[in-house]
Chains A and B, each alone.
Chain A
Amino acid sequence: MKPFAYEAPESVAAAVALLAGSGQRARPLAGGTDLLPQLRQGRWDLDFVVDIKRIAELTRIAFDAGTGLTVGSAVTCAEFCENPDVQALYPGLVDAASVIGGAAIQGRATLGGNLCDAAPSGDSIAAMIVHGAEVIVAGPDGRRTLPVAEFCTAPGATVLALGELVVALRVPSPQPHTGARYLRFIPRGEMDIAVVGAGAWVALSASQQQITAARIALSAVAPTPLFVETAGTYLVGKAPTEAVFAEAAALAQEAASPIDDMRGTVAQRRHLVGVLVTRALRGAIERASGPVNTGVAGKGV
């Protein structure tokens, strides 16, 4: 790696000041599992990195019924998945956070970093989108909040302006009769980047015979993780049947714009969108129908 300097501020304000004065020649360092390989590949030419792990606020994860789940941007995937509130209330997010790399990667990688890396295949991003999550950003002009669905703008690019730093992700408190599931397809058992990923979140009526709200999002089939509004809108008012899932899946297939690359072909990806959206919906409905889940759900397809 080309040499750079190392800063480790202990407050958000200090981190923001460092980034704001960097002339785009600094980046935050959380888990480093994306940044270090990218530095080695020469993707960034930096004067310094800003280690955000000494900022207490960013390493905290807390739940309360009012505001929901607040995940500091430096919280690792492993800490996230081990959190009892997360396991009990957000299994759909555990689905995603527990498949980023393997155990060693999860020991270091953060959800904040996964979001800021803004890869089209970012597993946690699609999962956050279907949960209606928001991202809290701090910058020279103060803090702002925006939906995760609006955060990524292109492969590797976000709405962050110079000096801005993601402070936390906020996920609404789960309501009764809601459930979410995230699945992705990879060729091996683990360690691979998603060929396709699909997240589904549903709310059921009290009778559980009708879907009252739904969100579908896809990974790796568009320039950014893709919120499929059409599929979610279609599902409202429908009964949770296989035919309905199939129609939603078809709408998702239409919305996707997959490419051919070394990890998958257009035809394969479009086909997998259909398969995974169907399976994600089945899983979300199951979670919405049962008692609120405890324990970590199974991964993968």
Chain B
Amino acid sequence: MAGKTLVSATINGEVVEFLCEPQQSLLACLREILGLTGAKEGCNDGNCGACSVLLDGRLVNSCMVLGVEIEGHEVTTVEGLANWDGLHPLQASFIAQDALQCGYCTPGMLIASKALLDRNPNPTDEEIRTWLAGNLCRCTGYDKIVRAVHAAAEQMNG
């Protein structure tokens, strides 16, 4: 039986240290050790996107990453999108467009949308739907989410 490993990583811009067992996923570490419950578990096998985070700026499913793997790396979760000055345009846009109902898929959806706009500031409908295909939503039918991403993109492009 393996003992715990000390991991040091940058999470939402802050250097943190934590202890975890090697088999614990990044998702479990975020939620159970670091108190960051924004990322959610929906399937634990990479098929729903509710656990989406950015790892060194790249969109990944945190259920598919071990906590120990992020040593020295940077992670962004939904808690890192807004600061006390206000919401990220995507967050404001999701509220304004009613792009959420129960809200469970929303953290993952926001992170994935940010990853899209980071690389493609002006995506088409098709590009949005393709990029976000790994983020399942059961409540909204997706329509208002696509509108919200467009609205945020418009705002961010000034």
Contact = CB atoms under 8 A, between A and B. Distances in A.
A40 B63 CA distance: 11
A6 B66 contact: yes
Most buried by A among B22, B55, B64, B133: B64
A104 B112 contact: yes
Contacts of A33: 46, 61, 64
Contacts of B71: 8
Given A6-B22, A6-B68, A107-B55, A36 B63 contact: yes
A132 to B, nearest CB: 30
Contact of B23 (A39, A51, A53, A188): A39
Contacts of A4: 2, 22-23
A28 B76 CA distance: 26
Contacts of B133: 102-103, 188-191
A101 interface: yes
B46 A37 contact: yes
A5 B66 CA distance: 11
Contact of A40 (B5, B45, B49, B116): B45
Contact of B61 (A1, A39, A105): A105
Contacts of B131: 102-103
A108 B65 CA distance: 8
A36 B49 CA distance: 15
A171 interface: no
A95 to B, nearest CB: 14
Given A3-B23, A37-B46, A78 B64 contact: no
A86 B132 CA distance: 24
Nearest to B49: A104
Contacts, number: 98
Interface in A1-39: 1-6, 8, 29, 31-33, 36-37, 39
B60 interface: yes
B101 to A, nearest CB: 22
Interface string B52-93: 100100111101111011010000000000000000000000
A104 B23 contact: no
Nearest to B58: A107
Interface residues on B, range: 20 to 34
A100 to B, nearest CB: 11
Contacts of A191: 47, 133-134
Contacts of A104: 46, 49, 52, 59-61, 64, 112, 134
A103 B112 contact: yes
Query: Would you call the interface of chain B mostly helix, strand, loop, or mixed?
Result: mixed
Contacts of A103: 59, 112, 115-116, 130-134
Nearest to A35: B64
B131 to A, nearest CB: 5
A281 B86 CA distance: 53
A49 B67 CA distance: 13
A124 to B, nearest CB: 17
B64 A31 contact: yes
Interface string B25-40: 1000000000000000
Contacts of A31: 64
Interface in A62-112: 76, 78, 101-105, 107-108
Interface string A107-141: 11000000000000000000000000000000000
29 contacts: A1-B23, A3-B21, A4-B22, A5-B2, A8-B68, A31-B64, A32-B65, A33-B46, A33-B64, A36-B63, A37-B44, A37-B45, A40-B45, A49-B22, A76-B58, A78-B58, A101-B134, A102-B49, A102-B133, A103-B59, A103-B130, A104-B49, A104-B64, A105-B134, A108-B58, A108-B61, A189-B129, A189-B130, A191-B133
Given A31-B64, A103-B59, A107-B55, 7 more contacts: A4-B22, A5-B2, A6-B22, A37-B45, A53-B69, A103-B130, A104-B134
Interface of B: 1-2, 5, 21-23, 25, 44-47, 49, 52, 55, 58-61, 63-66, 68-69, 71, 112, 115-116, 129-134
Closest 9 CB pairs of A and B: A102-B134, A6-B22, A190-B133, A1-B23, A5-B2, A37-B45, A107-B58, A107-B60, A104-B61
